[in-house]
Structure 1
Amino acid sequence: MDTTGARFMPVARRFDHIGITVADLDLVIDFFVALGLELEGRMFVEGEFLDTVCGIPHSRTEIALLKPPGDGTRLELARWVRPDAVPGSPGAMANELGLRNVAFEVDDLRAAVDWAASEGYGLVGGIGEYGGVWKMAYVRGPEGLIVSLAQRIG
């Protein structure tokens, strides 16, 4: 028995993945693959495990796992087959509560922003510079996702 009064605090070992629910899985996969991520796998998940974890009985989802170059934290995209997805706020701004963006470092911010624009994805604001170290822009990607693109400049 612990007599010091200290409580056990779990410690995260690593950042494994971030999950995003989408309606058009192919569209969103294509967007992130074009940004340089690699499709690692794609599968359907259903049954007791999913029902228990997500708290939705008789659920079924199709997921895709993407990884950045050189490994690292994964991006999990999920399309719900059963039940239907519930609409979110595709025009949400950075101050709306909840997950607002997923961020990637790029080699050439201008080229990445120009590519996004050519695909129909515009800037949320503009390209900003922070402390002579970073240039960054928010791009409104597929399904309203905010994708933060940053380039180290210093």
Structure 2
Amino acid sequence: MTKSKLIEMNNVGVVVENLDNAITFFTEIGLTLEGRMMVEGEWAGQVTGLGNQSVEVAMMVTPDGHSRLELSKFLSPKTISDHRTAPVNSLGYLRVMFRVDNLDELLIRLEKQGFEIVGEVVNYENIYKLCYIRGTEGLLVGLAEQLNNKTVTDVLEDNE
């Protein structure tokens, strides 16, 4: 039997309370709504282990078409825990990071909508200007602007 090979990362999933607000927030960052649908029934619960479930799903896609963010609102069963206010060093904590072309301009727009920077905007090795923000529903979102053609991989290789 041939060993399986990873082809691509298909998507990252985030559970939200208000799907419309989450779509609006991620659209403001620059993602596009690719589609929205109900996922329900026993088959879906067999995949998740939740049994019979009803979930409204919105698939958001990055401008390059390579990355997707699946936003899910569970109608049933109801959500049983909430990790949105946990600190970033919590086990299993989820953070998504996006590369943008003008971090300062985006932050002005997001702050006008009430979203806050978690710490500070920092310059990492003159490669990225980056920060974390608390987005819709308190979700942690990383934003990074690449400052030159150098990558983090280049820095790691330089340090070897």
How does the TM-score come out when normalised to structure 1?
0.91
For 2:76 and 2:84, how far apart are their aligned partners in 1? 21
Matches within 5 A, 1:51-70: 51-70=45-64
From 99, 107, 131, the equivalent of 2:93 is 99
SS at match of 2:117: coil
The one-letter code matched in structure 1 to 2:98 is F
In 2, Cα distance between equivalents of 1:56 and 1:152: 40
Q: CA RMSD in A?
A: 1.4
Contact 1:104/1:149 (<8 A) preserved: yes
Structure richer in helix, relative to its length: 2
Alpha-carbon distance between aligned partners in 1 of 2:142 and 2:27, rounded to the nearest angstrom = 15
Determine if contact 1:41/1:65 at 8 Å carries over to the other structure. yes
Map residues 57-136 of structure 1 onto 2, 5 A cutoff.
Answer: 57-136=51-130
Aligned structure 1 segments of 4 or more residues deviating by more than 6 angstroms: none
Q: Please report the TM-score for the alignment, with normalisation by the length of structure 2.
A: 0.87
**% identity of equivalent residues:** 35
For 1:49, the equivalent position in structure 2 comes to: 43
Query: Cα distance, 1:61 vs. partner?
Result: 0.3
Runs (5+) with no aligned partner, structure 2: 149-160
What is aligned with 2:157?
Answer: none
Q: Which amino acid aligns with 2:49?
A: G
